[in-house]
Structure 1
């Protein structure tokens, strides 16, 4: 299972979904699905733009959790 930390990252920076959508050009629905961890797939261009926007690595946004464990960082 993949865990998406977008909501935590956005919360730490006090950003709203609409802010990220406006600043990155990423569809608001895509950001909403990532934020709520309901996305079933994501384009690599979206991941790249999020990394650029937040100045972070892919592993800062996504975390692999084997067997669906809910281990937080």
Structure 2
């Protein structure tokens, strides 16, 4: 996947647990785990906003673009 979600990095920087983030954002720990493990196909903007509010960060602090090995595939 070319978009990497670095929630674990921000959690460590803020010294916050997945449980606390889950409670603050109002999403399940399972959904946070899906985001952390790179299994998510999409993220709602409202969820991203909630995560940014809870972690006091910008979307660019969480989302990262990396070129992948697929040649020209969309």
TM-score (norm 1): 0.79
CA contact (8 A) 1:33 1:39 kept: yes
Name the structure 1 match of 2:52: 51
Name the structure 1 match of 2:24: 23
Name the structure 2 match of 1:71: none
Larger Rg: 2
* Whole-angstrom distance in 1 between the partners of 2:13 and 2:56: 14
| 1:7-61, Cα deviation, whole Å (9 max, x unpaired) | 1111222322111111221222211111222211111110011111111111100
**RMSD of equivalent CA atoms:** 1.4
Aligned residues: 68
Spell out structure 1 runs of 4+ moving beyond 4 A. Answer: none
TM-score (norm 2): 0.78
